[in-house]
Structure 1
Amino acid sequence: MAGRTGRSLTGERALSRLIASMAPVLDDRRHAIRAMDVAESPSADVFALIREEEGWTIILPDPLGDWARISLAVHSDLAAVGLTAAISGALAAAGIAANVVAGFHHDHILVPWARRQEALDILNSLGDEA
């Protein structure tokens, strides 16, 4: 099925191909994850916005933020099984926290800023091993 742009609306589902072609990209900006009251309006630079019963969770670039964002270039299907487990498992084995946000086209991993390069190297090595 193709959208208006002619691009497929379904992504890759095969775990081996997802891992082999994930091509992680490190955003050079720091990010923050914050809570915000639902009555507030988020700023235009918000990367992700999640509404929960308690309020909004926002993820946005912030020069004082504690998180780095790594985006996977592969277009993963939302029904793909195992990619989040493979990524979080590899990072967990190294003691690196990973907060995964799935977009329609790509997955994004927020890792501690101080360990961003190590996390990127681990993700790249997963792709090399696939």
Structure 2
Amino acid sequence: MMAQVRDPAAMIAQMSPLLDQVRWCFVTVSNPGQAIELMRRALATFREEEGLSLIVPADAAHEADLAAASYRRIILQVHSALDGVGLTAAVSTALADAGIACNVVAAFHHDHIFVPEEYAEQALAILERLAASAG
């Protein structure tokens, strides 16, 4: 098993951002049948009082007739500890300073940063510079 990184400077320096080529959409559904169908293609789900939120490929959202903006995912390849402090703040601050909105999903092994599709390349460059400056 890969060692978890807890040191804030090390997490930033080792994040090795990677841009996923898939276009993703955040959608919500309350219909159980539609939820089951979309879950088969979902990258992630989260249950909320208003319905099931899913992150699905853009084509799945459009096929389900769910209007949604397209996002691109930047995978931070460092195996950051779930109780590590500072990575999310550093990433979101760097992107916010450039006027780029982001949605962060922390999974067990990696953090996943979703940015509006039109800012994907710019966001990747910002995160690469951030990692280089921390190293």
TM-score (norm 2): 0.86
Work out the percentage of aligned pairs sharing the same amino acid.
45
Gaps of 5+ in 2: 63-68
- 5 Å-filtered alignment, 1:63-82, equals 63=59, 66-82=70-86
Q: Which residue is equivalent to 2:26?
A: 33
Structure with greater helix share of residues: 2
Q: Is residue 108 of structure 1 aligned with residue 112 of structure 2?
A: yes
Give the match for residue 4 of structure 1.
none
RMSD: 1.4
Gaps of 5+ in 1: 1-6
The letter for the 1-side match of 2:43 is F
CA distance in 2, matches of 1:38, 1:81: 37
- Which residue, 58, 76, 97 being the options, matches 2:54? 58
- What residue is the counterpart of 1:96 in the other structure? 100
Give, in whole Å, the separation in 2 of the partners of 1:38 and 1:120: 36
TM-score (norm 1): 0.89
Instruction: Name the structure 2 match of 1:21.
Output: 14
Other structure's SS at 1:19 match? helix
Q: 1:120 aligns with which of 106, 120, 124?
A: 124
1:3-61 C-alpha deviation (Å, 9 max, x unpaired)? xxxx15x6111010000000011001111000111623133221010111111110012
Runs of 4+ off more than 6 Å: none
Deviations along 1:92-126, whole A, 9 cap, x unmatched?
00000000000010000000100100000000000
The alignment covers a number of residue pairs equal to 123
